[in-house]
Amino acid sequence: MYLPMKNMLTFDIEEWFQVNKFSAIFPYEKWEDCETRIERDLATILRILDSYNTRATFFILGWIAERHPEMVRDIHNRGHEVASHGYKHRTIDSMAPDEFKADLERSIRAIREITKEEVVGFRAPNYSLTDRTLWAKEILKQVGIKYDSSIYPTNMRKNYGIRSVSPQPFELSPGLHEFPLSSISYFKLMLPFGSGGYFRFFPIYLTRYWINQYIRRGWPVMLNIHSWEFDPQQPRVTASKIKQFRHYYHLNKTEKYLRLLLDHFDFTAIKDNLP
């Protein structure tokens, strides 16, 4: 039994140069040469959560956990949930099953060595658990993952989304729970609103309206923001106009928008909603 549940607040912890849209510019081999800004991003997030006494889930790349163990320990010691975002920020569809398992296990080891707790949650980079990659759910169970939060109930993106799934939490496979990202139905569209660029693009009054629609239906909202979205001063990357728009639009409003939501709604970590 899933309902009633609280709304869930999550953060994907990744550097500004690790996003998929810039992967050709900053391949894995070049990451060590890039300026790290993750600690200042995290400081902003934790300051906000402390001011609202709000608990959240942090999906952390194993690569980051290995290089910033004190940062991960601080997240854990403040009472937040630490979960896996993979190791190299590779999408599931870019890996064979054995590669995916190795990447996931490496990330889990990196986090577990710091927190001294089992890692039970996972979110795939770029929400890449789709109809084409559902084979990954058995591997998730094999390595001890209890819930996934990678599926977007949307038909508006070619590279992610499963239109047919429920926007409410459901059992993806026996023993594996799915907490999908939030989207709203408009005619034949399933419109994403619970994460990243969508969160920054839509006026905050619309996001509040859609959250209230979820609440009236008795559904928990899943909100997800990337750590780099709290850093409007991050280095600018030369890329296509659409990629630049998606990445940089309203970065200066991320903190304001989050605070406006926390003023009106309560959120918690995903783990708190596990059956």
Quick one: tokens of 121? 């949650």
User: Each residue of 19-49: pLDDT tens digit?
Assistant: 999 999 999 999 999 999 999 999 999 999 9
The number of beta carbons lying within 10 Å of the beta carbon of residue 159 is: 11
Domain 7-273 has CATH 3.40.720.10: no
Q: What is the mean pLDDT of residues 109-134?
A: 96
Q: What is the mean pLDDT of residues 72-101?
A: 98
Q: Which residues pair with 59 in a beta bridge?
A: 12, 83
Band of the pLDDT at 126, cuts 50, 70, 90?
very high
Sign of dihedral through CA atoms 101, 125, 86, 163?
negative
The number of beta carbons lying within 10 Å of the beta carbon of residue 76 is: 17
pLDDT of 1 reads 47
Where in the chain are the domains? Answer: 7-273
pLDDT of 132 reads 93
Please tell me the distance from the alpha carbon of residue 122 to that of residue 103, in angstroms, as a whole number.
Answer: 12
The CA–CA distances, whole Å, from 146 to 56, 70, 162, 192, 268 equal 17, 25, 20, 25, 17
Band of the pLDDT at 159, cuts 50, 70, 90?
low
pLDDT of 17 reads 97
pLDDT of 163 reads 73
Q: Are 82 and 108 in contact (CB under 8 A)?
A: no
The pTM is what?
0.95
* Residue 55: closest CA among 8, 3, 116, 110: 8
Percent of the chain scored above 70 by pLDDT? 96
Q: What is the mean pLDDT of residues 199-221?
A: 94
Residue 88 or residue 166, greater confidence = 88
The number of beta carbons lying within 10 Å of the beta carbon of residue 235 is: 10
Instruction: Name the phi and psi angles at 211, rounded to 5.
Output: -60, -40
Q: What is the mean pLDDT of the chain?
A: 94
| pLDDT of residue 205 exceeding 90 | yes
Cβ-defined contacts of 199-206 (< 8 Å, 24+): 199/223, 199/224, 199/225, 199/229, 199/254, 199/257, 200/229, 200/249, 200/250, 200/251, 200/253, 200/254, 200/257, 201/249, 201/250, 204/257, 204/260, 204/261
Percent of the chain scored above 90 by pLDDT? 86
Please tell me the distance from the alpha carbon of residue 12 to that of residue 61, in angstroms, as a whole number.
Answer: 8
Q: What is the mean pLDDT of residues 127-151?
A: 96
Q: What is the mean pLDDT of residues 145-160?
A: 83
Band of the pLDDT at 181, cuts 50, 70, 90?
very high
The residue type found at 47 is R
| pLDDT of residue 210 exceeding 70 | yes
| pLDDT of residue 2 exceeding 60 | no
Band of the pLDDT at 188, cuts 50, 70, 90?
confident
pLDDT of 3 reads 55
Q: Give the containing element (helix H, strand E) for 192.
A: strand 189-192
- H runs (alpha helix) in the chain: 38-52, 62-67, 69-77, 97-115, 136-142, 196-201, 204-217, 241-248, 254-264
Please tell me the distance from the alpha carbon of residue 55 to that of residue 66, in angstroms, as a whole number.
Answer: 23
pLDDT of 190 reads 83
